[in-house]
Structure 1
Amino acid sequence: MQSKSGANGTAITEFILLGLVETPELWSIIFVLFLFAYMVTVGGNLSILAAILVEPKLHTPMYFFLGNLSVLDIGCITVTIPSMLGHLVSNTRTIPYGACLTQLFFFHLLVGVDCFLLTAMAYDRFLAICQPLTYSTRMSPSVQRILVAVSWVCSFTNALTHTVAISTLNFCGPNVINHFYCDLPQLFQLSCSSTQLNELLLFAVGFMMAGTPMVLIITSYAHVAAAILRIRSAEGKKKAFSTCGSHLTVVAIFYGSGIFNYMRLGSAKLSNKDKAVGIFNTVINPMLNPIIYSLRNPDVQSALWKVLLGRRSLA
Structure 2
Amino acid sequence: MTSSPSGKSWLYDEYADGAGLSFKIDKILASQQTKFQNIKIVKAKTLGTTLLLNNWIYRTEDQGTAMPEMIVHVPMSVGKFKKKRVLLIGGGDGHSVAELIKYQEVEPIDMVDIDQTVVKLCSQHFPVAKKAFQDKRVKLHIAEGSQFIKSQPENFYDVIFVTGTEAFDAKGKPGISFSLFETRFYKDCFKKLNQQGILLTDGQNGYYGEKFYQSINRKLKTTFSLAKNYSVTCKYIPGGLYLMNIASKKLDPEKDIYPRSIKDLNYYNAKIHQSSFALPQFLI
Query: Per the shorter chain, which TM-score range?
Result: under 0.3
Q: Which has the higher contact order (CA 8 A, sep 6+)?
A: 1
Relative to the length of structure 1, the TM-score reads 0.25
Relative to the length of structure 2, the TM-score reads 0.27
Q: Computing the radius of gyration over CA atoms, which structure comes out larger, 1 or 2?
A: 1
